[in-house]
């Protein structure tokens, strides 16, 4: 358990779960509740794209890299995809149902870089329900974990 990360979560409450004034047990319950649509780690997104190819067998990444210099909306979307691919593993989870990611994939689809089905498969990666604790990489948080983190 990363006590420092848990402490930062409890003190900052960036997801607005309402930890302030709650018991340690209630805080653990809030952290473990399966109620948030999860984001996707950049490595998982990269791997999913690595496994995609067009009808001619051309890898989607190859198409994206080949169009990144284009002075068009597609080129801009490709550059954004490459920035995600090259992001450090600690980069926050990508909200694949978020407006920015959806627009990026729609633009690449419209330019012929991937199919609608492939873009939807990428967006669907984040449909699983996850807890805030899972999203933070903390695993299952116990009351004892909360108490230890708050004592730091």
Do 61 and 115 lie in a common domain? yes
Do 119 and 55 lie in a common domain? yes
Residue in 75, 131, 73, 122 with CA at minimum distance from that of residue 101: 122
- For residue 20, name the pLDDT band (cuts at 50, 70, 90): very high
Q: How many CB atoms lie within 10 A of CB 138?
A: 20
Do 27 and 52 lie in a common domain? no
- Section 89-102 average pLDDT: 86
Domain membership of residue 135 as a residue range: 3-35+130-151
Do 140 and 80 lie in a common domain? no
Q: Look at residue 146 and tell me whether its pLDDT is greater than 70.
A: yes
- For residue 106, name the pLDDT band (cuts at 50, 70, 90): very high
Do 61 and 99 lie in a common domain? yes
Q: Could you give the number of structural domains in the chain?
A: 2
Do 49 and 100 lie in a common domain? yes
pLDDT at 61: 92
Cβ-contact 147, 67 below 8 angstroms: no
- Section 58-67 average pLDDT: 93
């Amino acid at each position: 358990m990363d006590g420092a990360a848990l402490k930062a979560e409890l003190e900052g409450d960036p997801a607005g779960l309402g930890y302030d004034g709650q018991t340690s047990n209630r805080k653990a319950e809030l952290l473990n509740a399966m109620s948030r649509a999860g984001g996707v780690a950049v490595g998982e997104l990269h791997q999913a794209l690595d496994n995609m190819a067009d009808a001619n067998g051309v890898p989607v990444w190859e198409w994206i890299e080949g169009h990144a210099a284009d002075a068009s909306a597609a080129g801009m979307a490709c550059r954004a995809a490459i920035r995600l691919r090259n992001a450090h593993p600690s980069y926050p989870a990508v909200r694949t149902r978020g407006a920015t990611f959806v627009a990026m994939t729609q633009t690449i689809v419209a330019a012929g870089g991937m199919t609608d089905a492939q873009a939807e498969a990428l967006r669907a990666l984040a449909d699983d329900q996850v807890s805030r604790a899972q999203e933070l990489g903390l695993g299952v948080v116990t009351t004892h974990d909360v108490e230890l983190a708050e004592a730091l």
